[in-house]
Amino acid sequence: MTLYGIENLPYGVFSRPNEAPRLGVRLGSSVVDLSTLGGLLNQHSLNPLMAAGRAQWTAAREAIVAFVAAAPERIPLSEVTLHLPFEVADYTDFYSSEHHALNVSAILRPDAPGLPEHWRHLPIGYHGRSSTVVVSGTPIRRPSGQLGPGVFGPSRRLDIEAEVGFVVGVPGRRLGTADFEEHVFGLTLVNDWSARDIQAWEYRPLGPFLAKSFATSVSPWVVPLAALTAVDHLPQDPPPLDYLQPAGPAYDLRLSVEWNDTRVSRPPFASMYWTAAQQLAHLTSNGASVRTGDLFASGTVSGPRRDQVGSFLELTLSGAEPVKLSDGSTRGFLEDGDKVTITGTTIGAAGVEIGLGEVIGTILP
Ligand SMILES: O=C(O)/C=C/C(=O)CC(=O)CC(=O)O
Ligand SMILES: [Ca+2]
Ligand SMILES: [Mg+2]
């Protein structure tokens, strides 16, 4: 059974040789061209549709389902180039996995492990660099930077972070958690590449800067919220302030991380502490605006078990316990030529398993 049947239909932007990019939906291992549907679907990016709001999203999806049911031409994915599906406006990255926060703290701050005092009071985040968000398949050049006092050179501790990104459609400010489904169009898988040696030296007290700004990869597919099923969120203690309540939908997304051809982890999104609705409410709570194309990522998705973590820092305990790949080689951090593939599935709104796309990157020296 396909993960990309008519129940799913994630949106992407594709082109054939010598043709302009256009909108499509994924069907199996093909893409269906939406341009003949006209209007908001005859575009070179998702932004106009995303800006149009939920009534238009629903109408577009109904039109697409009817179109796909009539057996339109299917263009094999092998014949197209996939592009960034939307123009990325601002990019924010949260830190909402308690397991990740505890693991990273123990590794980077063994003198002061544990959650920061404010962690359960607000969804911690930082603003990233939208101009270096790239589509899956774009090679990732190993970053250089300061690695310590007097040392500048290529990162030796290049890592991944498996995350889920939420894409804003309708602009707004001071949004409540209940506004989430009116403003957020859908989700996409994210790899927040991270240079741990640059990070460890630079990050105090302002947080990640050049350690993560060189590249962030996203899946070419945006899964509309309409394709997903909401589940209950985890209990939150202490009770969040009013502006972070009700928590809003959680999603039981099951991620998978492959290092070259070896699956090394299955991060469970249901284990995230803060919901995307709370992240959006917090992000706009001071009067800051969000606009069409804003991307806010969940933070690294790590579950309680070692085979559920979303970074190699955690998987290998910062290289101290290398992981063995299927070709017999071992790894602590990424080597040149390594390829990382993040995929995901969930039980969708129609009650069947659907795919969440994939985000792939290969490391160049
Ligand atoms: O705990 C730290 O100092 C740093 C943590 C991260 O690097 C994580 C970050 O980018 C946010 C996240 O993905 O959860
Ligand atoms: Ca991150
Ligand atoms: Mg990044």
Per-residue model confidence (pLDDT) at position 101: 98
Gap between the Cα atoms of 313 and 257, Å rounded: 14
Gap between the Cα atoms of 164 and 159, Å rounded: 17
Gap between the Cα atoms of 363 and 339, Å rounded: 7
**Residues of the chain below pLDDT 50:** none
Where does CATH 2.30.30.230 sit in the chain? 11-83
Per-residue model confidence (pLDDT) at position 1: 60
For 56, the 3-state DSSP assignment is: helix
Per-residue model confidence (pLDDT) at position 278: 98
Per-residue model confidence (pLDDT) at position 42: 98
Sign (positive/negative) of CA torsion 220, 226, 232, 234?
A: positive
For 213, the 3-state DSSP assignment is: coil
Q: How far is the CA of 61 from the centre of ligand 2 (A)?
A: 31
Q: How far is the CA of 71 from the centre of ligand 3 (A)?
A: 39
- Closest by CA to 25, choosing from 12, 41, 44, 40, is 12
Task: Tell the residue nearest (CA) to atom 12 of ligand 1.
Answer: 299
In short, whether 125's Cβ falls inside 6 Å of ligand 1 is no
What is the ipTM, given to two decimal places? Answer: 0.94
Where does CATH 3.90.850.10 sit in the chain? 91-364
Rg (CA), the chain: 20
Per-residue model confidence (pLDDT) at position 185: 99
Per-residue model confidence (pLDDT) at position 293: 99
Q: How far is the CA of 100 from the centre of ligand 1 (A)?
A: 8
Instruction: Count the Cβ atoms, other than its own, within 10 Å of residue 61.
Output: 16
User: Which CATH fold would you assign to the domain 91-364?
Assistant: Fumarylacetoacetate hydrolase; domain 2 (3.90.850)
In short, whether 342's Cβ falls inside 6 Å of ligand 1 is no
Residue 186 Cα distances to 3, 129, 268, angstroms: 17, 20, 18
Task: Tell the residue nearest (CA) to atom 5 of ligand 1.
Answer: 104
**Spatial contact of 59 and 101, defined as CB atoms under 8 Å apart:** no
Structure tokens at 234: 């985890």
Per-residue model confidence (pLDDT) at position 113: 86
Predicted TM-score of the model (pTM): 0.98
In short, whether 104's Cβ falls inside 6 Å of ligand 1 is yes
The CATH code that applies to domain 11-83 is: 2.30.30.230
Q: Which ligand ends up closest to the CA of 124?
A: 1
Q: Which ligand ends up closest to the CA of 91?
A: 3
Residue with tokens 């939406």: 34
**Cα 299 to the center of its chain, rounded Å:** 8
In short, whether 93's Cβ falls inside 6 Å of ligand 1 is yes
